Amino acid sequence: MANIAFIGLGNMGSPMAINLVKAGHQVCVFDLADEAVSKVVAAGAVTKKTAAECVQNAQFIISMLPAGKHVDAVYLTEKTGLINYIEPNSLVIDSSTIDAATSCKVAQALAQKKIGFVDAPVSGGVGGAVAGTLSFMVGGSLAEFEQASPILEAMGKNIFHAGEHGAGQIAKACNNMLLSILMIGTSEALQLGMANGLDPKVLSNIMSKSSGSNWTLDVYNPCPDVMDNVPSSNNYQGGFMVDLMAKDLGLAMETALASHSSTPLGALARSLYAMHANTGNGSKDFSSIFNVFNLPSK
Ligand code: NAD
């Protein structure tokens, strides 16, 4: 069993850290919010006054933070950054969804101190984090991937080696861009059918068994009351927030710009999600984009 420091105990980090405790690891946790720390300590983790104290003697340091600026600050801030406290030969696993450039910058800085790094963003949402069934998209050397894998297995079901540092973040940006396009397309098709008299349950069943089948139709239908236990049937509460999807689409567009890639549907999806967030829907689940295509009430 390993000594693990876990930094960032939000919606995702908290259940991930609890699964590490359940797997028998020694886990020292830190978050700026005391409430978040207490919950994970109650499940068997320990804590220290600062993140710097937590990482001392840790073989693995896992972070689950909101965005690139947080990851950069936590590891690389002069004097107080964790880079000054982590032991050589230990491995940093950053599971935050951030830009690949920041992942590579942190990886290079840590390598100067003989500290390993993988970017390991996840897919599967809060439900997957609680159930321990996340998918991890890992960027780093093969040796770093093999070092990280036994730890990631306590939190996830599918562990993929995407390539070198930053490749995990690129894979995550591609996946979420595709997911947003599928969610928008499914919403449009369902609204078109409903506007022309079709029952959304009947139409969903037809399309999910036909060539329009996709993940959003099969397990995450955006139309209320077609499926039980999905955010659309719970007033779009829980699940994956519009604000986070808008952030991820921004990352996908930065990636496209940097590589001169043409992503017309991704660009439109980013714009639609930004508009949806800016009209008061940022904290709803991302399937609420369905309502953008409602017919005006007569
Ligand atoms: P969250 O906002 O719930 O949690 C982030 C946590 O980080 C908070 O508890 C905050 O207090 C803590 N934090 C911020 N700065 C810190 C610092 N300097 N030191 C210690 N703690 C600090 O976010 P989340 O939903 O858990 O998401 C985390 C990451 O995972 C994001 O990058 C997100 O895009 C990604 N993600 C989220 C989901 C999801 O469904 N929520 C799914 C996949 C990926």
Instruction: Tell whether 298 is covered by a domain.
Output: no
Q: Do residues 13 and 143 both lie within one domain?
A: yes
In this structure, the answer to whether residues 207 and 250 fall within a common structural domain is: yes
Can you tell me which atom of ligand 1 is nearest the CA of 9?
A: 9
Rounded to the nearest angstrom, the distance between the alpha carbon of 252 and the centre of ligand 1 is 19
For residue 126, the model assigns a pLDDT of 86
- Examine the domain organization and report whether 94 and 213 are in the same domain: no
Same domain flag for 88 and 103: yes
Q: Are residues 177 and 260 in the same domain?
A: yes
- Ligand 1 pocket test, pick from 32, 38, 123, 242 with the greatest ligand atom count within 8 Å of Cβ, gives 32
Last residue of a domain, one of 133, 164, 195: 164
Residue 272: give the domain boundaries: 170-293
Whether the CB of 1 sits within 6 Å of ligand 1: no
The verdict on 181 and 133 lying in the same domain is no
Q: What is the CATH number of the domain that holds 148?
A: 3.40.50.720
Instruction: Please tell me whether residues 143 and 226 are part of one structural domain.
Output: no
In a domain, 199, yes or no: yes
Whether residue 177 is found in the same domain as residue 81: no
How far is residue 244 from each of residues 30, 66, 83, 116, 168, measured CA to CA in Å?
Answer: 22, 9, 27, 28, 17
Query: What is the maximum span of the chain, computed from C-alpha positions, in angstroms?
Result: 67
Ordered DSSP codes for 167-210:
HHHHHHHHHHHHHHHHHHHHHHHHHHHHHTT--HHHHHHHHHTS
Contacts 24+ apart (CB under 8 A), 208-216: 212/186, 214/182, 214/185, 214/186, 215/179, 215/182, 216/179, 216/182, 216/183, 216/186, 216/287
**Structural domain ending residue among the three candidates 126, 147, 164:** 164
pLDDT at 298: 61
Residues annotated as catalytic are 172
Which of residues 108, 142, 164 is at a domain's end? 164
- Same-domain check for residues 158 and 12: yes
pLDDT tens digits for the chain (298 residues)? 999 999 999 989 999 999 999 999 999 999 999 999 999 999 999 999 999 999 999 999 999 999 999 999 999 999 999 999 999 999 999 999 999 999 999 999 999 999 999 999 999 988 899 999 999 999 999 999 999 999 999 999 999 999 999 999 999 999 999 999 999 999 999 999 999 999 999 999 999 999 999 999 999 999 999 999 899 999 999 888 999 999 999 999 999 999 999 999 999 999 999 999 999 999 999 999 999 999 877 6
Q: Is the domain of 79 the same as that of 181? A: no
Whether residue 148 lies inside any domain: the answer is yes
Q: Are 292 and 276 in contact (CB under 8 A)?
A: yes
Assess whether the C-beta atom of 97 lies below 6 angstroms from ligand 1.
yes
Residue 26 lies in a domain: yes
Whether 46 is covered by a domain: the verdict is yes
What is the count of structural domains for the chain? 2
Q: Does residue 41 lie in a domain region?
A: yes
Indicate if 107 and 52 belong to the same structural domain: yes
Cα of 86 vs centre of ligand 1, distance in Å, is 21
Flag whether 120 is in a domain. Answer: yes
Amino acid 104: pLDDT: 98
User: Is 40:9 a contact under the CB 8 Å cutoff?
Assistant: yes
- Give CA–CA dist 249/252, Å, rounded: 5
Q: Which single residue is written with the structure tokens 């029952």?
A: 199
Any idea what the CATH number is for the domain that residue 275 is in? 1.10.1040.10
Tell me: do 63 and 95 sit in the same domain.
yes
Answer whether residue 263 is part of any domain.
yes
